[in-house]
Amino acid sequence: MSELLAWLIFPDMMRVLVQAGSFLPWVNPDLSVVTLAIVSMVAVLVIACPCALGLATPTALMVGSGMGAEHGVLIRSGEAIQTLKDVRVVIFDKTGTITKGRPEVTDMVVQENGSSGARRARDLLYWAASAERGSEHPLGRAIVERAEAEGLTLAEPQSFQAVRGRGVIATVDGRRVLVGSRRLMEDHDIDPTPLEETMRRLEEEAKTAMLVAVDGELVGVIAVADTLKEDSIDAIRELHRMGLETAMITGDNRRTAEAIARRVRIDHVLAEVLPDGKVAEVEKMQDRFGLVAFVGDGINDAPALTQANVGIAIGTGTDIAIEASDVTLVRGELTGVVEAINLSRATFRKIKQNLFWAFFYNVVMIPLAIVGWMHPVLAEIAMATSSITVVTNANTLRRVEIRPEYARRSTPPLSPGSAGPSAQATVRP
């Protein structure tokens, strides 16, 4: 053992190594030990410069963020890219996310034998639309737009109250009008049973049915339906192919929600959720699945977007939702969710490759520099080459196709400068 330690003393070790490497033109056994030691020291310092290691992650993140912007996916931080690849379940808000957010009135059913309310569909529409004039909810706006399209002159409500998650209560022409769900009617001692079968039929057709009551008497039901976005079914199918679970959250009753979920093949349905209950539902999904992404567009989606591990805002939605999100989809298509996850996975594959090459370079080159077989000039060339290799490999990320095949056939990536209405969102690689 003592002989081994004596051999490892620097001058003796250097002498042996120099003799072993004397075939190299820059390894001269006639040089002094001090000179050889200085040459080795300089080579080690140059080789050990962590340039490649320092470039491995930020270059890939920068290229990934830029590539996302080209596809209309604006990513606010590197943390969002990192988290997206590990997401287990994607939760979608319904209105304006899975659907277009432009509902239309499809059915109007007048309650027979009504004495104080509507005797015709136009009467039913008059009461409901007049009551909804003060509402900003998309369903209420759909009723008002239908009345205006039919040329009805609506009354200005003397009073108006929006009951969150239930409907509206208004005073129209001195009469008390309620428009909303079964729960709203039951809360005011109005029995919805006479129209239960009609409600059930409409809800099974994926329509949102709203009861209308005047002065405490049920007078009819108005059904509103929203059209699915063109890519909703394809995008959710692609997420399933990628091994992800999907969920839909909505304030609609369960039958309507399940009818829509069947059409788009959503795995989990979270129905009859009040706006302030979305955060709790997201927390439950996090406890059950782990990392969760939430996709929404409205003001009441902002808390859920913040609670989720990754919040994804539809670019055509509200500014509050966009500000609360980590990712903004400029086009407003669900295909952007697929692209964002594909981009995250591809980016981190490149980061792993870059880290491998950076460590491989150090593991191979540093021992050669230590033993004096690496001239400082060659060490500098090797160091520069390693950095160039990492940067070049990061740029090959642009060759990766993140847009799913079904979308490639229809819409090309965004050209520079055409980022759309949400281009104000900043990208911070």
How confident is the model at residue 17, as a pLDDT? 56
Could you give the maximum distance between any two Cα atoms of the chain, in Å? 117
In order, the DSSP letters of 353-422 are: HHHHHHHHHHHHHHHHHHTT-S-HHHHHHHHHHHHHHHHHHHHGGGGS--S-HHHHTT-PPPPTT--GGG
Which of 135, 137, 173, 168 shows the shortest CA–CA distance to 154?
Answer: 173
Q: Does the pLDDT value for residue 142 go beyond 60?
A: yes
| Same domain (yes/no): 215, 232 | no
Q: Specify if 297 maps to a domain.
A: yes
C-beta separation of 337 from 239 below 8 A = yes
What is the mean pLDDT of the segment spanning 336-344? 95
How confident is the model at residue 276, as a pLDDT? 85
Segment 91-128, tens digit of pLDDT: 999 988 999 888 999 999 998 765 444 568 889 999 99
Q: Specify if 429 maps to a domain.
A: no
Per DSSP, the three-state class of 327 is: strand
338: left (phi over 0), alpha (psi -120 to 50) or beta: alpha
Q: How confident is the model at residue 429 (pLDDT cuts 50, 70, 90)?
A: very low
Type of residue at 383: M
The Cβ of residue 145 has, within 10 Å, a number of other Cβ atoms equal to 16
Segment 238-276, tens digit of pLDDT: 999 999 999 999 988 898 899 999 999 999 999 989 888
Strands 159-163 vs 167-172: parallel, antiparallel or unpaired: antiparallel
Segment 118-135, tens digit of pLDDT: 568 889 999 999 999 988
C-beta separation of 312 from 235 below 8 A = no
- Among the listed residues 12, 30, 93, 231, the single catalytic one is 93
Which of 419, 368, 360 shows the shortest CA–CA distance to 386?
Answer: 360
Read off the CATH number of the domain in which 173 is found.
3.40.1110.10
| Same domain (yes/no): 328, 248 | yes
Which of 303, 358, 355, 354 shows the shortest CA–CA distance to 325?
Answer: 303
Cα separation, 142 vs 97, in Å, equals 17
Q: Specify if 169 maps to a domain.
A: yes
Question: Structure pTM?
Answer: 0.78
Task: Report the run of H or E that residue 142 belongs to, with start and end.
Answer: helix 138-149
Q: Specify if 350 maps to a domain.
A: no
How confident is the model at residue 413, as a pLDDT? 53
| Among the ranges given (10-14, 215-219, 277-281, 383-387), the one the predictor scored with the smallest mean pLDDT | 10-14
How confident is the model at residue 215, as a pLDDT? 92
Q: Specify if 119 maps to a domain.
A: yes
Per DSSP, the three-state class of 426 is: coil
| Same domain (yes/no): 331, 257 | yes
C-beta separation of 332 from 314 below 8 A = yes
How confident is the model at residue 6, as a pLDDT? 45
Segment 381-422, tens digit of pLDDT: 888 888 899 999 999 999 999 988 887 766 555 544 444 433
Identify whether 173 is a catalytic site residue. Answer: no
Number of domains observed in the structure of the chain: 3
| Same domain (yes/no): 213, 189 | yes
Q: Does the pLDDT value for residue 65 go beyond 60?
A: yes
How confident is the model at residue 417, as a pLDDT? 45
| Same domain (yes/no): 117, 207 | yes
Q: Does the pLDDT value for residue 53 go beyond 90?
A: no
Q: What domain range includes position 27? A: 1-31
Task: Report the run of H or E that residue 69 belongs to, with start and end.
Answer: helix 51-70
How confident is the model at residue 427, as a pLDDT? 33
| Same domain (yes/no): 185, 108 | yes
How confident is the model at residue 119, as a pLDDT? 62
Name the domain boundary from 294, 326, 342.
342
Strand boundaries in 126-225, DSSP class E? 159-163, 167-172, 175-180, 208-214, 217-225
| Same domain (yes/no): 133, 194 | yes
Strands 310-314 vs 217-225: parallel, antiparallel or unpaired: unpaired
Q: Specify if 179 maps to a domain.
A: yes
Name the domain boundary from 197, 225, 253.
225
Q: Specify if 353 maps to a domain.
A: no
| Same domain (yes/no): 95, 238 | yes
Query: Phi and psi of 211, rounded to 5°?
Result: -80, 150
How confident is the model at residue 420, as a pLDDT? 43
Read off the CATH number of the domain in which 306 is found.
3.40.50.1000
Q: Specify if 48 maps to a domain.
A: no
C-beta separation of 156 from 133 below 8 A = yes
| Same domain (yes/no): 84, 109 | no
What is the mean pLDDT of the segment spanning 180-199? 92
Q: What percent of the chain has pLDDT over 90?
A: 54
| Same domain (yes/no): 198, 125 | yes
Q: How confident is the model at residue 184 (pLDDT cuts 50, 70, 90)?
A: very high
| Same domain (yes/no): 140, 127 | yes
Per DSSP, the three-state class of 304 is: helix
Name the domain boundary from 312, 342, 372.
342
| Same domain (yes/no): 296, 275 | yes
